[in-house]
Structure 1
Amino acid sequence: MADIKYYDVILKPVVTEKSMNLMGEKKYTFLVHPEATKSQVKEAVEKMFAGTKVESVNTMNCEGKKKRVRGTFKFGTTAKTKKAVVKLTADSADIEIFAGL
């Protein structure tokens, strides 16, 4: 297991229609480091965003898509990713990077 610091865990937020609808239920979606665990994601969210308390974390591993290499009949794949859906407690502060979207 790699030694991952809390500021390396969260890569970027996922901004889709589905993730925006989940924000009404205090659920936020992030792309995270592929080797990050649920407890590391929880720690990173609580340290990076002041006033937040995490209730639960759901993660999913997304396989890379098959892509055809330009000009040939060979196939390659895009990089694997990992997503995390973080649910905050009812008395927790909202995450500000999603404000105004």
Structure 2
Amino acid sequence: MKRVKNTIQYVIGAILLIVCIMLTLVFEHQRNRSRDLEYVGRYIDELSTTTAIHVEDVFSDKLAFIESAAYLYGRVSKAEDYELLAMRLFITIMKSVV
């Protein structure tokens, strides 16, 4: 009878130890997951900001090019020497594309 009682105590102790280990793993997993989500949130915020700045730079450069091309086109349409100014406009456009 004493042997059965000792065996039951060992089994209960082992079960409690396994439950404690599992609870520790579950809590650690939750903590890691929340930390990972926080890091991903920071990364996405930084990436969005950087992308927005880059897009703004690209579009402002393109806007400046369009405005200068429109200005040159306006000058070409009013000029007497149409062919020369048209060639200048074409060269300017090709330089900005390349």
Q: If the length of structure 1 is used for normalisation, what is the TM-score?
A: 0.19
Which one scores higher on RCO, CA 8 angstroms, separation ≥ 6? Answer: 1
Higher helix share: 2
Higher strand share: 1
Q: If the length of structure 2 is used for normalisation, what is the TM-score?
A: 0.19
Q: Which has the larger radius of gyration?
A: 2
